């Protein structure tokens, strides 16, 4: 077995696509109409892993946007060039909560995507 995808609540499919694909350079893997919904998946460059962008439709789902991790960092994005990727995240609408810090495992900083999800951007030590 292998983890292939996770679902991420977004307020709108196109807003999710714009942030991840136009902003961060992810690939739009699928955008398949399914009646009132769409099956939308995006993947980081050169990876088989996918984020399923799930539009929040109900009040409970809308309230959960940005809260899927219960307020904790729950998504982790690795980088080969921390400064360049941090600039890309900021230009796309992400917000860093702290300056980069050096930890035993590498350079890391917490940031939020435009939907409120908390991520770590990590440049692992080689």
Q: What is the pLDDT of residues 72-121, one digit of tens each?
A: 999 999 999 999 999 999 999 999 999 999 999 999 999 999 999 999 99
Q: For residue 46, what pLDDT is reported?
A: 80
d(C-alpha 42, C-alpha 17), whole Å: 8
What domains, with CATH codes, occur in the chain?
A: 1-65 (3.10.180.10), 72-126 (3.10.180.10)
Q: What is the pTM of this model?
A: 0.94
Which tens digit of pLDDT belongs to each residue from 43-63?
Answer: 998 888 999 999 999 999 999
Cα dist from 98 to 73, 78, 119, whole Å: 13, 17, 12
Q: In the predicted model, what is the mean pLDDT of residues 33-41? A: 97
Locate 46 and state its tokens: 């050169």
d(C-alpha 82, C-alpha 13), whole Å: 28
Helix (H, G, I), strand (E, B) or coil at 88: helix
Beta-carbon-side half-sphere exposure of residue 29 (alpha carbons within 13 Å): 18
């Amino acid at each position: 077995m292998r983890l292939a995808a996770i679902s991420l609540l977004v307020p709108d499919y196109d807003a999710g696509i714009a942030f991840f694909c136009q902003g961060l350079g992810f690939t739009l893997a699928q955008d398949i109409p399914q009646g009132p919904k769409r099956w939308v998946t995006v993947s980081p460059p050169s990876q088989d892993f996918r984020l399923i962008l799930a539009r929040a439709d109900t009040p409970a789902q809308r309230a959960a946007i940005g809260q899927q991790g219960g307020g904790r960092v729950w998504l982790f994005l690795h980088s080969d060039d921390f400064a360049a990727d941090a600039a890309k995240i900021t230009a796309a609408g992400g917000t860093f909560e702290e300056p980069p810090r050096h930890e035993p495992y590498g350079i890391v900083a917490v940031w939020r995507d435009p939907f409120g999800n908390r991520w770590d951007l990590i440049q692992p030590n080689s």
